[in-house]
Structure 1
């Protein structure tokens, strides 16, 4: 599934579509509202706030957001466990790379009938390229909610103190790593460079390195690995260099807290961290974002999630459908962008001046994500029962390289062998 949208297409279209996307509010006669349980990843407050906005428009539907999962892998396992115990949520905001696992187990509802009953989705601002990322066997299983991309965050004050030029940040990895080393020399507990891989589910940032060089994770038929070539070795060699530059083992939360506290010079993570980073840095230091260095034929895996309906009850499905349409519609998407760093999945929000029409022009850091749109491709998900075990295995191998315990070439050989053994047999 390829995401071939361009910035021009994304920002094109007409704001007049917004009128057709407004949530209709019928006369409600129900004495007791329908309660929908919703499973999400963090940040919970985002989903709570948007749920409250929806309930204000639809008092006949009550939204209860469960305790969030720290990542999409944990969220997937919770769905699997809930299916066994008969306690599945009604709606789940699932990572793009795990949609296939949930759909193939029959735990999600195909949305084709609901989409057709609404006359299609084109007029509501949904892009075909994004909708394609939620399809499994030509059936749609979700509406895209949030798009994220791998992004570099720079503390410009530390860059300048280390002798770098904040207006001319490095554009290739050797220069980025060299700048990170210079920042580390500043001392006082300052870390130069951290490329986060712990906490990002699905081995997302590892995949980003490989795909940015034109490499692939799986063969076209998804039956074998494709990262056993030079791009896969290069990615592990990069992790080795990150370790040599002083990267230490920290959770994703610890890493982001350190950057927000002004003690990391360069951080590689998801652009969804943007608003938190800028808010924490305000009055203390300046933040700038940049895309990962890429080859001309490179791609980046599209992170983020789509809203999936899990309830099998027809009445609850209709309520859930109205909820996920709201969450992926212009109003909710505007709040999403203003409170996070996600790229909106609904073009009407971007095309409408009073929503996000002026936002991106006034927020250059947020524009980094939009400018990455032409480079975004599918987020590969390993097939079969061992999908999550495979990405855990890959993370452990990466850890052995970052901590300088093993050499990249040896690790790649073991990684390829072990992942192949865990893939479904033909």
Structure 2
């Protein structure tokens, strides 16, 4: 009897289990000698921490779908396997855009440590029913922050238990702050990473946007409670990741129509590219061979088309866009095209260098919360965040 090799693969967030199971089922058809055992985490932060703990006791999974901002951290700590020798055997990836994605996102230094699996962009979800009640036209939505917050205030006045706006400021990796900072044309550190750079006018604009969100009626809810409120019809405008599109559609059902748009960008603004990349953690040669088969399949046009159709993720393999089922989806549901329109203006999800990277990101989120609760002004929060970041990252 021939026994299949069981490959351990970890991913986050856990609510995408249906999509990952579909990928695994297709993979096993092509590779019956390998079975996939998935391990999940609620967030990329939790996935990173569980991976670090598992490495300490030599019990890490073979492959891990890590948040794009944590590729650098795992590579710097020597926990991931360089993939260059595997990638060099995939010439088709040059034409399919995978090679560019690896170079731009999966290579924090001079070696490749991740094959990007999915991209997600920050977007605005609108509840069309609340828009109509506020006198707005879903076909003519605002394209500036001024217009968005004016509309949010009108929605907040509809009834006491309705909020006009929410943004996932509390997402891991300082995603919310980076989304606003990059949209205003800023950067987290200088090019040489010798100083903090988010304390310039662009960073102030980002923090001021949080203050304006509070003024428009945003309540400080947990991420999960906010999502429940939105699908329950209690939030009018919701800023989050495009990857939630399918999940929102399924939970909203026929209760109201959903419209999705890009977030506003300054003339020099950029769109944050989040998502995850596949990293090989196993050092065993036989398991590495199986791990690469999984990574290669998950980056293939077929798997990428499945992933895109079952989420709001954007495929990194451009050949997937020719998939007939995916093309049909884009024709019938224009919301799914929105992230594709953002691809020409992306900037990578940033992680600070050094051992205090996650602490610094969490600290920035804490300062945003103080602004949201009117406990600190935007300027005071920005100054304090920059001061603390210099202590944590630059040891100043």
1:247, 1:309 → 2: CA distance? 41
Structure-2 residue corresponding to 1:49: 22
Q: Secondary structure at the match of 1:372?
A: helix
Counterpart pick for 1:62 among 32, 35, 38: 35
| Counterpart for residue 10 of structure 1 | none
Contact 1:383–1:424 (CA under 8 A) maintained in structure 2: no
**2:86 & 2:92 partners in 1: Cα distance?**
9
Q: Deviations over 1:70-114 (max 9, x none)?
A: 222221111111111111110000111110100111111111111
Q: Is the 8 A contact 1:124 1:329 kept in 2?
A: no
Structure 2 unpaired stretches of 5+: none
Instruction: Quote how far apart the aligned CAs of 1:188 are.
Output: 5.0
Q: How many aligned positions are there?
A: 394
Q: What do residues 393-413 of structure 1 show as CA deviations (whole Å, max 9, x unaligned)?
A: 111110000011111111111
Q: CA RMSD in A?
A: 1.6
Residues 82 and 88 of structure 1 are in contact (CA less than 8 Å); yes or no, is this contact kept in structure 2? yes
The alpha-carbon deviation at position 356 of structure 1 amounts to: 2.3
In 2, Cα distance between equivalents of 1:54 and 1:274: 25
User: What's the CA shift for 1:280?
Assistant: 2.5
Mind listing any 5+ residue stretches in structure 1 that lack a counterpart? Answer: 1-29
Match of 1:121 in 2: 93
State how 1:368-387 maps to structure 2 within 5 Å.
368-387=338-357
Matches within 5 A, 1:334-413: 334-352=305-323, 354-413=324-383
CA displacement at 1:282 relative to structure 2: 2.9
Partners of 1:85 and 1:418 lie apart in 2 by: 32
SS at match of 2:64: strand
Counterpart-to-counterpart distance in 1, 2:4 and 2:215: 57
Runs of at least 4 residues of structure 1 off by over 3 A?
Answer: 117-120
- Pairwise mapping of residues 79-94 of structure 1 onto structure 2 (< 5 A)? 79-94=51-66
| Aligned counterparts of 2:92 and 2:353: Cα–Cα separation in 1 | 30
Q: TM-score, normalization: structure 2?
A: 0.96
The answer for the alignment partner of 1:260 in structure 2 is 231
The answer on whether the counterparts of 2:101 and 2:115 sit within 8 Å (CA) in structure 1 is no
SS at match of 1:147: strand
Greater CA drift, 148-157 or 187-196: 187-196
Aligned to 1:99: 71
State the secondary structure of the residue aligned to 2:265.
coil
User: Is the counterpart of residue 212 in structure 1 residue 195 in structure 2?
Assistant: no
Summarize the alignment of residues 139-218 of structure 1 with structure 2, pairs less than 5 Å apart. Answer: 139-198=111-170, 200-218=171-189
Which residue matches 2:250?
279
Query: What's the offset of the Cα at 1:238?
Result: 1.0
Aligned CA distance change for structure 1 residues 164 and 357 (closer, same or farther; 3 Å):
closer
In the alignment, structure 1 residue 321 sits paired with structure 2 residue 292: yes
Cα offset for 1:359? 2.9
| Post-superposition offset of 1:119 | 4.3
1:306-344 per-position Cα deviation (integer Å, ceiling 9, x unaligned): 111100011100100000111121111111111111111
